[in-house]
Amino acid sequence: MDQNPYNNSSKELKNSSLYTVKLINTPKKFKTIRNWLASIFIILFLCMFLPWQQNINGKGKVTPFAPEDRPQNIPSVIAGRIESWKVVEGQFVKKGDTLVIISEVKEKFFDPQLLIRTDGQINNKIEGLAAKNRKILALEKQIDALKSSVSIKLKMAKNKVLQSEFAVKAEKGNYDAAIVNETLAKNQFERLNELYKKGLASLTEIQNRTSKKQEAKSKMIEAENKYNKVENELINARIDLNFIEAEYIDKISKAESILEETAGELFENQADLIKLKIEYSNLKLRSGFYAIKAPQDGYLVKVTKAGIGEIIKENENIASIVPAYTKTAVEMTVRALDMPLIYKGCKVRIQFDGWPALVFSGWPSANVGTFGGLVQVIDKVADEKGNFRILVTQDPNDVPWPELIRAGGGVYGWAMLNRVPVWYELWRQFNAFPPDFMEQAKSDKK
């Protein structure tokens, strides 16, 4: 016999036929819901303590890493008219392959013999320069000869002046002696004439003394003439000395003036020659621009000027080339708020557009279809929207990136930061706080 009054009451309630009494009991399905909710709450509560990988997300696109590997335009250096295409759009070309042939459209370059004629002008100018050099050498020799001649002439003239001075001195002595002799003869004649008047001297002696007096006077006159002659010769010698010096100075000055003028013409011709050589080099280089060639290996795309006979301007793009062999990278943008948390070598998980993936940003190990990357470049300046650009390359220690991805394809990435509990991450997101930066800052400092 059951002595428990509670069990008896429960059995009575279960066996009761009253509806109100039956409602007092809890239905079984509600008990099941209660158990499920309690289980879910417990599971969610436990999940709050699971580790969560903080991350910074951003969008971007696939791009070649090196600047020379990115698609580039092919411009025409000179203006011209399209004569023929050597390739078709989408064709693979090697570096140096001719893409298109163009012809001249400027009148000054129409002459087909322009290069040869310019080369002839250069040769003529070189011959003219050689002639100018020969003339300069001849003038220099002439000036040296004139300087040597004037030196000799001046020595001869100075010697002549010196000889004339000696002759003047000698003739001056003879003239002075003749004057003395003439005076002496005159005095003797006067004394003898006194004696003759007194009858102490004969007529013959007077006649002899008269003859000697006249002879002495004539010798004095002759000596005076010779003296005057050599004195005039001295004056003429001195005049010749000055004339020779002035004459040769004039000749040397004229020769030096011609030399300077010829040297000036030589410099002008040299400048003209340099201009002609520059023009010849430009023409030669320009002739090489008639064939527009591929700057590197790649595929020709986006042809903008296709028709034969179309006119293209200088520096106008005619097509683009996509390099065949490139090192792929991902170009992403991140907010300025998240920028201090990004550093070179930071790990990034990447999802490529068109590539199937199952993403759990907080648990990278559970991701499927994502690929690893490392931050290689961080811009120092923000763009017009205030975002910063980063370049991410393939992580060599992770799964290789798909070979089918192409430049320009979209990507979505997550930069992996610290590990924190889920409850901390929810609290941070709810309060709009940035990711935990302290541990990262310590790591950077270390």
Structural domain spans, the chain: 1-47, 53-68+326-445, 71-104+290-323, 114-288
Closest CA to 98 of 307, 294, 288: 294
Note whether 53-68+326-445 and 114-288 share their fold. Answer: no
At 192, the amino acid letter reads L
Closest CA to 10 of 20, 22, 1: 22
Closest CA to 74 of 438, 320, 374: 320
**In the chain, which residues have pLDDT < 50?**
1-2, 6, 19, 363, 366, 437-446
Cα gap 224→130, rounded to integer Å: 64
What is the sign, positive or negative, of the torsion defined by CA atoms of 52, 57, 61, 64? Answer: negative
Look at the block and give the residue holding tokens 């000027």. Answer: 305
Look at the block and give the residue holding tokens 């199937």. Answer: 356
Interstrand relation of 347-352 and 298-301 (parallel, antiparallel or unpaired): unpaired
Cα gap 166→171, rounded to integer Å: 9
- Predicted pLDDT of residue 436: 59
Interstrand relation of 51-64 and 410-421 (parallel, antiparallel or unpaired): antiparallel
Is 406 buried (19+), middle (13-18) or exposed (0-12) by CB count in 10 A? exposed
Interstrand relation of 328-334 and 388-394 (parallel, antiparallel or unpaired): antiparallel
* Local structure of residue 434 (DSSP, 8 states): P
Order across the sheet with 311-312: list the strands. Answer: 291-293, 98-103, 80-85, 311-312
State the pTM of this model: 0.51
Cα gap 161→257, rounded to integer Å: 32
Domain 71-104+290-323 sits in CATH at 2.40.50.100
CA distances from 387 to 87, 288, 394, 436 (A): 41, 45, 23, 20
Strand partners, 15: none
Domain 53-68+326-445 sits in CATH at 2.40.30.170
- Predicted pLDDT of residue 25: 55
Domain topology for 114-288: Helix Hairpins (1.10.287)
Interstrand relation of 72-76 and 80-85 (parallel, antiparallel or unpaired): unpaired
At 372, the amino acid letter reads G
